[in-house]
Structure 1
Amino acid sequence: MRALYLAIDGGNSKTDVLLGDESGQILGFVRGGTSSPHNVGLPGAVAVLGQLIRAVHADAGLPLGAPIEAVAAYLSGADLPIEVARLEHAIAAENWARRTIVDNDCFAMLRAGTAMPDAVTVVCGAGTNCVGRAADGRTARFLALGPITGDWGGGHDLADHALREAARGEDGRGRPTALSRAVADHFGLPTVEAVSIALHFGDLPMERIHELSPVLFEVAATGDEVASALVERQAAEILAQYRVAAGRLDLLGGPHALVLGGGVLRARHPQLHDQVVAGALALSPHVEVSVLDAPPVAGAALLALDALGLSAAAEAALRAEIAARPPALARLTEPVPD
């Protein structure tokens, strides 16, 4: 009988669940909303996963009672050891599989990006995070709880700072910057002051500030010193995370991988990307830098296959199937109702 597994990548905005077998074949795939316990609580996270697991069985044409060898769940919000332990206990209690594996979603991104046993990933999306692993099983991670743990950067932070610098540049408290004109134009208003007033009174939703991250990179690409300084600070933060994680694992002196993930890094903005690559090579000439080009749920699937002790041929087959059918891994499948 073939061995089946469930792979879960649960983020702040979406959750992907894949059902596969020991050969690397993808039997079912579904996508739903957030399952981060920081957003929906622990019971809510388990409920979301339960809906999606029922849906992925239906997508694969398998009954819910079909034996599953392992469920590998990599979730945003699994930051502290106690959070990982609570999630693992709650998921194991659902008896979705004979074996339950739970950890932070960054480890799924790391495995999706490389098969090298010594590796670090820095994720820069809405926020930022970093994890590393060594061939001997040691890991490195940060608390990644936002400003209270010293975090800086990611699309939301960059957007907030772009608006702040645009306002200060316009009213004279800061250096003149093309961000002022670009921010006002983005929202179709005459000045940044008008943008700020519209945000204050709710005429513009505060969430729209997040739209300014791409605007920042566009302005920086023109050579604007203020915008460029923010991009340089982001590059320095990414490199600091890499340096510390790789240093803790004693990786800097030998071959290892650095996987760059998250929307900001996957966009490959030249001004940011080139600084990060050059900075990483300056820290270690042995590093192999890559940008994640596979969905993180692929990493969760590969980690499930690793845990089951399955062959390298299964990894090659899984990667080939994912590469050949990206539309299948991008469609939205609604969870089946309770």
Structure 2
Amino acid sequence: MTSPPPARNWLLLEGGGSQTWAAATGDTILVTAEGPSTNPRSVGEERAVHRLVELIDRVWDDPATAPLGVVAAHGAASTSAAAGDFATLIRRALALTGMTAPVLVTNDLTTLLLSADGPVCVANCGTGTGFAARNGVRWARSSGLEWLLSDEGGGHDLGTAGLRAVVRSLDGRGPDTALTGLARRWCDEAEHAGGNLGEILFFHVYRTEAAKPLVASFAQHVLEAAEDGDTVAARLVENAAAELAAGAAAVCRATSITARTGYTLVLSGSVLTEATLLRGHLMTWAHEHLPPAALLQHTPKSRPEDLLRLRNLWLTPKALAPLAAAMPTHADPAPPALGGARS
């Protein structure tokens, strides 16, 4: 006689400007899946819902029950209103799979602030940027208002600066740079034989609705050129690091974290955690101005634990209230003890 499959109880989501991670949990993490961005400001609402449906279908194959609740830490939650909007998209995706469930959505930095005891400062640099700090009852956040209003130093900002440096070089407004050759490779010029690089770049960047993550992907070429000694790229990386330092300093100042505070610095986001040169510039600044007592680097392995810690706050309303007052958050009433059946 075969044993029944383990029950799926909670649906977890984490996402930023380029990727989304999903998991179904019971007593342990049962199944996970990764997919592209579900941020509606990057890919549009309909595509975001479609991608959420795909992820839910991949991790939730139990036809008998719906999740007790959905816990989401997502970059789409730039403001409290935006968190509510993204919760609506999650409900739409659930409905398309035949389910309903209460939803908690908060900014993707929130779980990182819960990942260490004592004072914490988070510096996140992926497609965009975000900074947050917690020191006792004091919380603060900066940047994270998307690419038109903030995100200086992030992947989209650095990629844009690199592409502009290429165009400036092509039309004589700026110096020669190794980024020009890298831009040709980035565009896959074979698809556009016969055109000049300016025209090729124009077509490559503007042909897609998802220009934000596309442009952000060029940041890796800027970092590569800087590592190889290109002076134009090196200056752009230094400028990005200065923006990251300014963001971290702002939230530390707002929460009274000083050079004498024993705080944990958490680094997250693919651009920051994978780029040795950029991370090195930021750590040089930190050691000179705000030396951390401990350094943590957010990795995918910590996602389930971080999100389950957030779930536990959701189930304790008094504990959730201070967090929700400081970080963009939408919370449906806490879910009941037992899950509901599919409608």
With the length of structure 1 as denominator, give the TM-score of the two structures: 0.71
Secondary structure of the corresponding residue to residue 177 of structure 1 = coil
Mapping of residues 319-330 of structure 1, within 5 Å: none
Conserved 8 A contact 1:122-1:260: yes
Shift of 1:35: 3.4
Q: Which residue of 2 aligns with 1:317?
A: none
Which structure 2 residues correspond to residues 1-338 of structure 1 after superposition, within 5 A?
Answer: 4-21=9-26, 25-38=28-41, 39-41=43-45, 49=52, 52-53=55-56, 55-58=58-61, 61=62, 63-65=64-66, 68=68, 70-88=69-87, 96-97=100-101, 100-111=103-114, 114-136=115-137, 138-147=139-148, 149-184=149-184, 194-200=196-202, 210-252=216-258, 253-269=260-276, 271-294=277-300, 297-298=303-304, 299-308=306-315
Q: 2:17 touches 2:126 (CA, 8 Å); kept in 1?
A: no
Residue 284 of structure 2 aligns to a residue whose secondary structure is helix
Supply the distance in 1 between the matched residues of 2:87 and 2:215 (Cα, whole angstroms). 36
Post-superposition shift, 1:167? Answer: 3.4
What stretches of structure 2 of length at least 5 have no aligned partner? 1-6, 317-342
Shift of 1:31: 3.8
Instruction: For residue 229 of structure 1, report the CA deviation from its aligned partner.
Output: 0.6
Cα gap change, 1:62 to 1:259, in 2 (>3 Å) = farther
Q: Residue 82 of structure 2 aligns to which amino acid in structure 1?
A: E
- How far did 1:184 drift? 4.2
The aligned counterpart of 2:3 is none
Q: Whole-Å Cα distance in 2 between the matches of residues 181 and 50 of structure 1? A: 39
Q: Measured at CA, do residues 28 and 279 of structure 1 come closer, stay the same or move farther in structure 2, by a change above 3 Å?
A: same
CA distance change for structure 1 residues 284 and 12 in 2, over 3 Å: closer, same or farther?
closer
Name the amino acid aligned to 1:301: L
Matched length: 295
Instruction: Please state whether the residue corresponding to 2:78 is helix, strand or coil.
Output: coil
The TM-score, its normalising length taken from structure 2, stands at: 0.70
1:106–1:131 CA contact under 8 A, matched in 2:
yes
Of the structure 1 ranges 77-86 and 194-203, higher mean CA displacement relative to structure 2 is found in 194-203
Residues 163 and 275 (structure 1), Cα distance of their counterparts in 2 relative to 1, 3 Å cut: same
- CA distance 1:89–1:181, shift in 2 (3 Å): closer
Partner SS for 1:105: coil
**How far apart, in 2, do the equivalents of 1:51 and 1:121 lie?**
30
CA distance in 1, matches of 2:176, 2:19: 39
Deviations 1:31-80 (A, max 9, x none): 45543343443x8766765664465332xx573157x2x43212222111
Q: Contact between 1:9 and 1:105, CA under 8 Å: does it hold in 2? A: yes
How far 1:232 moved relative to its partner? 0.3
Q: Which runs of 5+ in 1 are unaligned?
A: 310-337
> What amino acid maps onto 1:225 in structure 2?
T
C-alpha RMSD of the superposition: 3.7
